[in-house]
Structure 1
Amino acid sequence: MGDDARSAVDDLPPLEARGVTVGYGGRMVIEDLDVAIPPGVITTIIGPNGCGKSTLLRTLSRLLKPAKGTVVLDGADIVKLKTRDVAKKLGLLPQAPVAPDGLTVADLVAKGRHPHQSWLRQWSSDDAAVVERALAMTGVSDLADRPVDTLSGGQRQRVWISMTLAQGTDLLLLDEPTTYLDLAHAIDVLDLVDDLHESGRTVVMVLHDLNLATRYSDNLIVMRAGSILAEGHPRDVITAELLYEAFGLRAKVIDDPVGDRPLIVPMGRAHVQSG
């Protein structure tokens, strides 16, 4: 394959939704939505509560089957792929995952290798090496023998991300990975996500904190009422007008004094200077 052809393949979106309609109990949450996830960057889905952020992520990961439309993973209809084949391509961290009582960190992370096991291919030294590398990448090697349910929130999130890394996928979907974390631990986890992106992975995540989403994303998908309102680089997307349209939020958008992205300054009624 020539360089131009190889570049064209590399630029294809690894994950797409085409005309997707999804709902619960007869109520449609997302209707006729199209989106293509760019490869090799961090894409973050933001929007007000109930707008369909997690529904979209769950649909992209095949946890939800669309009533209409298609989700395409590496060029194939994700519904027609075997579960094992999807797990070899896509790692998912759902909201607030729970490990069985007493399960150790090493045993949980090892579960990430299950898609690669079969009656012909049993656990090997290669699998053990992958698990050790995943533990090291997330900085939890020293916790390997600890029960997961004894860890702090930040430690648990790192362990769950380690498990998704052990799957060996280049595509990671993270549904609110900073939920229940204080700001310091949230930044710690997002720094880890950024490291994973720098190592070549494509990341799609849902975040509630707008400034963290702006700081850590290369591509934003802004949703409202089950539709995509805007999409693009934070510098091109985040404006005071968009924030009001999407969230009903009055805010000023200024240059981040410690970064190269916009910074959102909410404007409530208290302690706001006039003029």
Structure 2
Amino acid sequence: MLSYKHVSVSVSGTHILEDINIDFNDGNITTIVGPNGCGKTTLLSCLNSSAKVTSGNICINDIDFLKLPLKERAREVAFLPQIRTVIPVLPVRTLVEHGRFPYLGFTRRKSKEDIDIVNQSMDFTHVTAYSEQNADTLSGGIRQRVFFSMILAQDSQIIVMDEPVTYLDLEGKRNFFNMLKKLRQSGKTIILVLHELSDAIRISDNIVIMNDRKIVAHGTPDECISSHIIEDVFHTTYKKFSDEDGDYYIFL
């Protein structure tokens, strides 16, 4: 289990996160939501040290995660940030193979297991057909699937993503969420930030609601809806609908 214990982040005396306490349940999809600037990205960025924890601890199964060597941390947690300003001029397969870096030795020679995992990751995300194309020539949606394939190749138990559906159209988003459900069924722990509340409620086992640098609520989607905290934080109302996949909400 990944746990944040009294985690705070400050930059030049300004609080970015304040006293974050949360357990992310194994084998669940947990979505973090909140207004812009509330600290969602910073909360995730603590995991790859792009945000420096100033107090508190992040633990995996009671082991201090931030004290682990970088390669060991990458074996535990695969992290896909939202903003990638530089798109590598590399063939898709080469980029996905970068996900195996935590397992390679000094020579960086790939084993049969490494190659098999890369192939499986590319097949799973449907990017095998683009193997020899340079990533910078692809559309935003396909490129996003390539980056997703790369972090799957890390074969980490915990997968963390910041707004991973930003570049996806409706069909791409639906396919992506179906992939997340399959990963959950395989036992992976998935933590992501989503912008759309309706998506978060439909895909998640648990939702974390942030506001003003703090966690203000967390629980199942039904618990968060029934508590009216979403209405208070986002100043919105909603309508509830149902179909063969269950209940869903449209926020107004």
Partner in structure 1 of residue 50 of structure 2 = 63
Deviation (angstroms), 1:121: 6.8
Amino acid at match of 2:104: Q
TM norm structure 1: 0.86
Deviation (angstroms), 1:225: 0.8
After superposition, the Cα gap between the structure-2 partners of 1:59 and 1:173, relative to the gap in structure 1 and judged at 3 Å, is same
Secondary structure at the aligned position of 1:179 is classed as coil
Higher relative CO (Cα under 8 Å, sequence separation at least 6) belongs to 2
Amino acid at match of 2:42: T
Q: Deviations over 1:124-156 (max 9, x none)?
A: 222111111111111111111111111112211
Question: Is residue 173 of structure 1 aligned with residue 160 of structure 2?
Answer: yes
The answer as to whether partners of 2:26 and 2:187 remain within 8 angstroms in 1 is no
Find the partner of 1:72 among 59, 66, 78.
Answer: 59
Partner in structure 2 of residue 163 of structure 1 = 150
Partner in structure 2 of residue 6 of structure 1 = none
Amino acid at match of 1:264: I
Find the partner of 1:215 among 199, 202, 206.
Answer: 202
Partner Cα distance (2:65, 2:77) in 1: 11
Question: Is residue 30 of structure 1 aligned with residue 17 of structure 2?
Answer: yes
Amino acid at match of 2:187: G
Deviation (angstroms), 1:58: 1.0
Find the partner of 1:257 among 239, 243, 251.
Answer: 243
Amino acid at match of 2:175: D
Partner in structure 2 of residue 196 of structure 1 = 183
After superposition, the Cα gap between the structure-2 partners of 1:135 and 1:107, relative to the gap in structure 1 and judged at 3 Å, is same
User: Would you say how many aligned residue pairs link Structure 1 and Structure 2?
Assistant: 252
Q: Deviations over 1:167-222 (max 9, x none)?
A: 11111000000113333322222222222222221000000011011111110001
Partner Cα distance (2:104, 2:80) in 1: 20
Question: Is residue 187 of structure 1 aligned with residue 178 of structure 2?
Answer: no
Q: Which has the larger radius of gyration?
A: 1
Partner in structure 1 of residue 83 of structure 2 = 96
Higher mean C-alpha displacement, 212-221 vs 189-198: 189-198
Runs of at least 5 residues in structure 2 that lack an aligned partner in the other structure: none
The answer as to whether partners of 2:208 and 2:218 remain within 8 angstroms in 1 is yes
Partner in structure 2 of residue 136 of structure 1 = 123
Partner Cα distance (1:88, 1:207) in 2: 24
Secondary structure at the aligned position of 1:54 is classed as helix
Amino acid at match of 1:191: N
Runs of at least 5 residues in structure 1 that lack an aligned partner in the other structure: 1-13, 267-275
Secondary structure at the aligned position of 2:156 is classed as coil
Partner Cα distance (1:138, 1:207) in 2: 19
